[in-house]
Chain A
Amino acid sequence: MSNIKLHYLYRDGSNYKNWSEAVFSNADDLPADVITSVLRDAFLEDGLFIAHQVRIPEVFLAAEDQLTFDDHCFHEFESVEATCDAPNDACRRSIRQFMEEVAREAKRGWRAFNPQDRLLPRGR
């Protein structure tokens, strides 16, 4: 049985990128094209989503004072693929559970925020 690797990234307004991936178990043996279709339907145009809403690590380029005008709050879906890599999702979800969570959050609405509020330490 293969697991599913989700490839996603943060891309700022100038096209600088930071890539990441998360591996989910796939006991149901869902095919990658079905997963891709479901996720793309749930994400915004261009595959944009809010990473913390679906509990995967944020990979912003900026840290604290280095925020630029090009920075924003969205991450971007890239692809999924079958993999033999061990699952590494911190919430120990299967890909089906992750898809359900993405669909649920999409229904609730992707909540944009100012990354400055999130990245800068409180009180500054």
Chain B
Amino acid sequence: MNSRPKTPTVQNQLAALFDSQKLKCEAQAVTEAQNKPDFIFPGSAEYHDPRFDTSLLIMLGAKSTLKERWRQILTEAEKIPRKHLCTLELAISKKQTDEIAKHAVQLVIPEPFQATYTAEQKQQLWTVSAFVEFVRGRQRWLAGGPFKPFFVLSGDFHAPQWCIMVLYGDSKTSSCKISAHEARPAKCNLARQDRETG
């Protein structure tokens, strides 16, 4: 056992990163029943605003390790069905990554740490950079920025279908389903289109 807890560096470092990237977020904002997730994007005011489009809310847990306690995040923000969880955990089993994916949790793992995961597992992981871009895209849209479509692939590689959400600067979300074998090329094409229109 540790005799004294360390400063929660994962949460602090992510907070500093989000601040430097000018991403609007709130740490330990109250959601329901006194739950306080590590980060809510853009913040608690939007979270509790019944007029705010809940599909634009993002929750991120920041935990050094996963252990069995990762399930704690599942109940921390009822309005956000798909949670994100950033961790520094190395090489957890495929059984556990599958279990996490099954609970609609997207793992966010710094790129160097992903080297300890299998190729199959890596397909399910996001890097911190990918997460930052994901948030930035949504917040750019929220800010009414220039017309720039961006694309979010959700679901997991083992699901029969992927869902693509397309967000535009001047319209609401549209979505469509594509099959798993289409997902990878679609992701590449969409990423290219994103760069070209950006």
Contact = CB atoms under 8 A, between A and B. Distances in A.
A112 B3 contact: yes
Contacts of B172: none
Interface stretch (A13-21, A23-31, A33-41, A91-99): A13-21
A67 interface: yes
B72 interface: yes
Contacts of A78: 28
A69 B3 CA distance: 10
A10 B63 CA distance: 14
Contacts of B6: 13
A114 B97 CA distance: 32
Interface residues of B, number: 23
Nearest to B37: A17
Given A15-B38, A16-B63, A19-B34, A67 B1 contact: yes
Given A12-B69, A14-B63, A14-B64, A72 B34 contact: no
B2 A71 contact: yes
Contact of A15 (B4, B34, B64): B64
Contacts of A21: 34
A40 to B, nearest CB: 16
Nearest to A20: B34
B109 interface: no
Nearest to B62: A15
Contacts of B11: 15
Interface residues of A, number: 27
Nearest to A67: B1
B193 to A, nearest CB: 37
Of A13, A17, A21, most B-chain CB atoms within 10 Å = A17
Given A11-B8, A14-B63, A70-B65, A19 B2 contact: no
Interface in B1-38: 1-8, 10-11, 28, 34-36, 38
A9 B166 CA distance: 40
Given A14-B64, A15-B62, A71 B36 contact: no
A53 interface: no
Interface string B28-56: 10000011101000000000000000000
Interface of B: 1-8, 10-11, 28, 34-36, 38, 62-65, 67-69, 72
- Please list the 9 inter-chain residue pairs (A to B) with the smallest Cβ-Cβ separation, ordered nearest first: A14-B64, A14-B65, A15-B8, A16-B69, A72-B2, A14-B63, A15-B63, A72-B5, A13-B2
Interface of A: 11-17, 19, 21, 46, 48, 61, 66-74, 76, 78, 112, 114-116
